[in-house]
């Protein structure tokens, strides 16, 4: 392990912290927590809110709701506005709810960009417009853990006040780092945030101090080397090209699922094509035994499918297509799933693999 006080690690840390804002497309401040995504959620809550204040959680699956549980456990009042099943959040419902909050009791909106459980994606510029239409001053705080480095995200242009990320998905580094990007309005809220606590407090992390002050102690040495490499890989490919690669691979997965679809069998969970994430796809299996399908893929062919989450657990699975991935990986996974479906005599509308190959062919 290198010296943590001087030399290479200091340079690596400086490079990572300097590059992080470009990933969220912000000129705001980037903070790093040594922890998982939950630690970044907690850091966001502690530095912007006070006990007894109210937040509105816009949930379209599972993860915004869990962020809300953390807020509630931290002493914040939480109201949840759910989307319709299989849909992103309805901007009109946001305008309606905020318009009814004449006294501006709602201090912040907590929501995700892409929900990893449902695979629904929210139209963030439309949510921003919905807030502005209501003339409401709420902070807009967005969890991009399942979309950063996968889907277009423009924190400043879209008027987002705070972004939460983590190392383990589109950023391609093992779990262990959380990130919070704070725009000016979030930093203003921090000035008076009553929930500020020693470890997560931004004060020392924001100051021009030694490297360990940026991390609340010993820096996460190995993860920082990983992040340096990941950010260099993204810069080398070009972030717009990274987004395009994910769009092509998502289109490939969606083409396969659409063709497999059959009554009583495979179907999309997210009903509106424009609301399907480019990083993960939740697939309903209906009468097909999802546990058996995952078992055959994993133990018969070494492909691990994501488990269904929540009330869809027994009749769905998820395909991850984010981060360090490419056509051979995705086509291989789809072909394996199709083979497993055939081995189970599952009803199939057609060969999803053929459709996936056609989708990829248009981009070769």
**Which residues in this chain contact ligand PLP in the complex, by CB under 6 A?**
36-38, 63, 112, 116, 143, 145-146, 166, 175
Return d(Cα 213, Cα 124) in angstroms, integer. Answer: 33
Min. distance of Cβ 37 from ligand PLP in angstroms? 2
The smaller minimum CB distance to ligand PLP, of residues 39 and 95, is found at 39
Min. distance of Cβ 215 from ligand PLP in angstroms? 17
Residue whose pair of structure tokens reads 């693999």 in the numeric block: 353
Min. distance of Cβ 143 from ligand PLP in angstroms? 5
For Cα atoms 319, 68, 201, give the angle at the middle one, nearest 5 degrees.
105
The smaller minimum CB distance to ligand PLP, of residues 47 and 95, is found at 47
Determine whether 199 is exposed, middle or buried from the number of CB atoms within 10 Å of its CB (0-12, 13-18, 19+).
middle
The smaller minimum CB distance to ligand PLP, of residues 216 and 320, is found at 320
**Three-state DSSP state, 301:** helix
Return d(Cα 120, Cα 43) in angstroms, integer. Answer: 25
Residue (of 40, 126, 42) closest to 83 by Cα position: 126
Both tokens of 154, joined, read 């423009």
The smaller minimum CB distance to ligand PLP, of residues 116 and 252, is found at 116
How many alpha carbons fall within 13 Å on the CB side of residue 38? 6
The smaller minimum CB distance to ligand PLP, of residues 29 and 113, is found at 113
Min. distance of Cβ 331 from ligand PLP in angstroms? 25
The smaller minimum CB distance to ligand PLP, of residues 178 and 216, is found at 178
Min. distance of Cβ 210 from ligand PLP in angstroms? 27
Relative orientation angle of helices 327-343 and 290-301, to the nearest 10 degrees: 120
Min. distance of Cβ 183 from ligand PLP in angstroms? 20
Q: CB-based contacts of 275: which residues, under 8 Å, 6+ apart?
A: 87, 88, 120, 121, 122, 123
Min. distance of Cβ 36 from ligand PLP in angstroms? 3
The smaller minimum CB distance to ligand PLP, of residues 36 and 213, is found at 36
**Three-state DSSP state, 283:** strand
Centroid of chain to Cα 69: 17
Which residue is nearest to ligand PLP, using beta carbons? 37
Q: How many CB atoms lie within 10 A of CB 34?
A: 16
């Amino acid at each position: 392990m290198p010296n943590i006080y001087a030399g290479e690690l200091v340079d690596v840390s400086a490079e990572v912290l300097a590059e992080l804002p470009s990933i969220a497309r912000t000129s705001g401040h980037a903070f790093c927590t040594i922890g998982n995504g939950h630690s970044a959620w907690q850091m966001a809550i502690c530095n912007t809110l006070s006990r007894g204040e109210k937040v509105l959680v816009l949930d379209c699956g599972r993860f915004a709701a869990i962020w809300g549980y953390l807020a509630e456990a931290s002493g914040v009042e939480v109201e949840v506005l759910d989307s319709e099943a299989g849909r992103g959040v309805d901007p009109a419902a946001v305008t309606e709810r905020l318009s009814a909050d004449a006294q501006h009791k709602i201090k912040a909106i907590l929501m995700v960009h892409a929900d990893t459980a449902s695979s629904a994606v929210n139209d963030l510029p439309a949510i921003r417009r919905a807030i502005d239409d209501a003339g409401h001053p709420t902070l807009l705080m967005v969890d991009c853990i399942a979309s950063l480095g996968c889907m277009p995200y423009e924190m400043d242009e879209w008027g987002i006040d705070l972004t939460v990320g983590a190392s383990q998905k589109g950023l391609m580094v093992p779990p262990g780092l959380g990130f919070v990007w704070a725009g000016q309005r979030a930093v203003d809220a921090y000035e008076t945030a009553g929930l500020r606590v020693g470890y997560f407090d931004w004060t020392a992390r924001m100051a021009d101090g030694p490297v360990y002050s940026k991390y609340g102690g010993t820096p996460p040495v190995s993860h920082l080397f990983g992040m340096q490499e990941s950010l260099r890989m993204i810069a080398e490919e070009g972030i717009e090209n990274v987004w395009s690669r994910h769009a092509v691979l998502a289109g490939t997965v969606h083409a396969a699922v659409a063709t497999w679809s059959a009554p009583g069998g495979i179907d999309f969970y997210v009903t509106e094509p424009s609301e399907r994430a480019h990083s993960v796809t939740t697939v309903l299996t209906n009468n097909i035994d999802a546990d058996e399908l995952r078992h055959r893929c994993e133990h018969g062919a070494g492909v691990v499918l994501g488990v269904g989450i929540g009330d869809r657990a027994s009749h769905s699975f998820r395909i991850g297509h984010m981060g360090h991935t490419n056509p051979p990986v995705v086509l291989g996974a789809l072909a394996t799933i199709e083979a497993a479906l055939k081995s189970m005599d599952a009803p199939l509308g057609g060969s999803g693999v053929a459709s996936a190959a056609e989708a990829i062919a248009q981009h070769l």
